[in-house]
Structure 1
């Protein structure tokens, strides 16, 4: 009887753990669905602080194809263009979660760590003193 109870508890805990991980991934996927407009890029040794207008740079995540579509409408060659990130196009992406740390990889290269708060997405490239943070809003 004891063996059956231990086996039952093991399978219940295994099922519960899988369900929680699946739910966490689903909520992350659901949180990223939609159009994300680049709002601000800040950081770096020079103290860059650039604001962007709605529609200038838009990212759309597709979890069915693991692709991100970028529309980059920046027409200048200045700092706004340099720090806007990716050019218009479609790129493969994946997300890796290690505990509380959620990392975004685009075309196999780490873009940064994600922080999602309501309708705000921050991507921190993780370089302590000279790194940048890109802030997107829905």
Structure 2
């Protein structure tokens, strides 16, 4: 009996001395921004395919300001990489079940999200119809911690 009492006393002391309070510091919340990395382009008249390493061509969308900032570090002129480095305005046009991306007032194609981490910009599919010599661009999302 004495063993059972001692065990229960120790158990109750351990359980009641544990804090159930939330001591989480909310100053340590981490914020991320999305970067979309162009990883492949294919199409055109010749049907060429070009692949890019991550961080070579990065697109950052600012939905509030409707700006697109592109950092294009591609030095190989034989690869189709769409746009040069710079800040552009963008808009999204939704028609029926399709979404089209326009940059600086020019429509560049249909946007399709394969998953939360990838999208395709299909320059062969425009809101006005199909284009036989357009390019398709594959993007991969990377989350970057913001200081």
The size of the alignment, in residue pairs, is 103
**CA deviation vs aligned residue, 1:17-55 (integer Å, no higher than 9, x gap):** xxxxxxxxxxxxxxxx71000010011221111111001
Runs of 4+ in 1 over 2 A off after TM superposition: 126-129
Structure 1 segments unaligned to the other structure (5+ residues): 1-32
**1:133 equivalent among 133, 136, 147:** 136
CA RMSD across the alignment: 1.3
Q: Does 1:101 align with 2:98?
A: yes
Give the superposition deviation at 1:128.
3.6
- Report the Cα distance in structure 2 between the residues aligned to 1:45 and 1:108, rounded to whole angstroms: 24
Greater relative CO, 1 or 2 (CA 8 Å, sep 6+): 2
TM norm structure 1: 0.71
- 1:51 is aligned to 51
- Report the Cα distance in structure 1 between the residues aligned to 2:131 and 2:91, rounded to whole angstroms: 23
Comparing both structures, which one devotes a greater share of its residues to strand? 2
- 2:109 is aligned to 112
- Report the Cα distance in structure 1 between the residues aligned to 2:106 and 2:70, rounded to whole angstroms: 16
Which protein is bigger by CA-based radius of gyration? Answer: 2
- 1:70 is aligned to 70
Comparing both structures, which one devotes a greater share of its residues to helix? 1
- Report the Cα distance in structure 2 between the residues aligned to 1:50 and 1:39, rounded to whole angstroms: 8
Structure 2 segments unaligned to the other structure (5+ residues): 1-32, 142-147
**1:86 equivalent among 62, 83, 87:** 83
